[in-house]
């Protein structure tokens, strides 16, 4: 048989080229990085504990204005997003410490076009916290039109305006529904604007005649609410992003009495019940022990 060397070399070159091309293609495909698809992190309850000595506290064992190193004021009469009727001041007639307690007093008096005055004191930039145990011992006002609250708002509003960045209500009460105390959270997904807020209430027969402790334990897993150390409310992190759980940023405390408003004034305001006072025996914050 005649052997054509030139033809054979040409064929060998073609076969070799095809083989090398296939190998290169295979290697290229195997080395391509796979796209990363993030998965929501499923929250896990690590049974966090809290330190036994407060990291921040006010025992109100002094007299005069609330301690300026710990408290500031929200001032004004804008309605505060709820059509409230009071003008918030920094006057000692509305927020004063004496005989071992803080007294926040709503009064029937005219100021800046409003018919009532009150106080809303805040720890913003003086006491800002990410997780912890928050305990407040207080005696509530009474009377139709009063709306006292012990609550928390985000310091930095990292996810946007209300309700995107969240709200934690440690205690809320409206005077027309005496002795029924509420613990609530608000988020983008769950808020009273949509009537989807998450909360629970409990009847405390002596809410306005005796002191009771209102507490929230806030961890990466849940916000849990207690009254006199008895569990009342739990909101668990669903692991679905800030719309459901914006509670991974720092928050601060607020204490106030509103007058009237969308909820407090839902059954009107009785001007004859004023002045009304919320007394606070102490505010204590305990640091969460990291795990």
Q: Where in the sequence numbering do the catalytic residues fall?
A: 167, 172
Contact criterion met (CB below 8 Å) for 224 and 216: yes
CA dihedral 134, 138, 142, 148 (to 10 degrees): -30
Nearest to 246 by CA among 280, 269, 223: 223
* Phi, psi torsion values for 273, nearest 5 degrees: -85, -15
Taking alpha carbons only, the member of 280, 283, 279, 275 closest to residue 118 is 275
Q: In whole angstroms, what is the distance from residue 209 CA to residue 206 CA?
A: 5
Nearest Cα residue to 143 out of 261, 267, 228: 267
Determine phi and psi for 27, rounding to 5 degrees.
-65, -40
User: Ramachandran region of residue 179, left (φ > 0), alpha (ψ -120 to 50) or beta?
Assistant: left
């Amino acid at each position: 048989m005649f052997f054509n060397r030139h033809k054979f070399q040409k064929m060998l070159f073609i076969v070799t080229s095809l083989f090398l091309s296939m190998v290169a293609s295979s290697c290229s495909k195997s080395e391509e990085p796979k796209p990363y698809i993030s998965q929501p992190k499923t929250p896990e309850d690590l049974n966090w504990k809290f330190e036994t000595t407060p990291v921040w506290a006010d025992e109100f064992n002094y007299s005069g204005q609330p301690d300026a190193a710990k408290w500031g004021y929200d001032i004004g009469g804008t309605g505060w997003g709820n059509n409230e009727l009071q003008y918030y001041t920094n006057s000692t007639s509305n927020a004063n410490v004496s005989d071992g307690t803080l007294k926040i007093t709503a009064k029937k008096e005219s100021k800046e076009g409003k018919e009532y005055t009150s106080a809303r004191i805040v720890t913003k930039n003086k006491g800002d916290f990410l997780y912890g145990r928050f305990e407040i011992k207080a005696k509530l006002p009474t009377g139709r039109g009063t709306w006292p609250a012990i609550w928390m708002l985000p310091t930095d509003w990292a996810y946007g305006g209300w309700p995107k960045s969240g709200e934690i209500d440690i205690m809320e009460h409206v005077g027309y529904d005496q002795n029924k105390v509420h613990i609530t959270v608000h988020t983008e997904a769950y808020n009273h604007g949509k009537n989807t807020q998450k909360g629970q209430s409990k009847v405390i027969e002596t809410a306005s005649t005796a002191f009771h402790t209102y507490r929230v334990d806030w961890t990466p897993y849940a916000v849990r609410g207690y009254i006199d150390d008895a569990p009342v409310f739990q909101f668990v992190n669903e692991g679905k992003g800030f719309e459901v759980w914006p509670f991974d940023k720092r928050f601060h405390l607020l204490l106030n009495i509103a007058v009237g408003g969308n909820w407090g004034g839902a059954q009107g305001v009785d001007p004859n019940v004023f002045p009304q006072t919320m007394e606070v025996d102490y505010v204590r914050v305990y640091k969460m022990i990291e795990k």
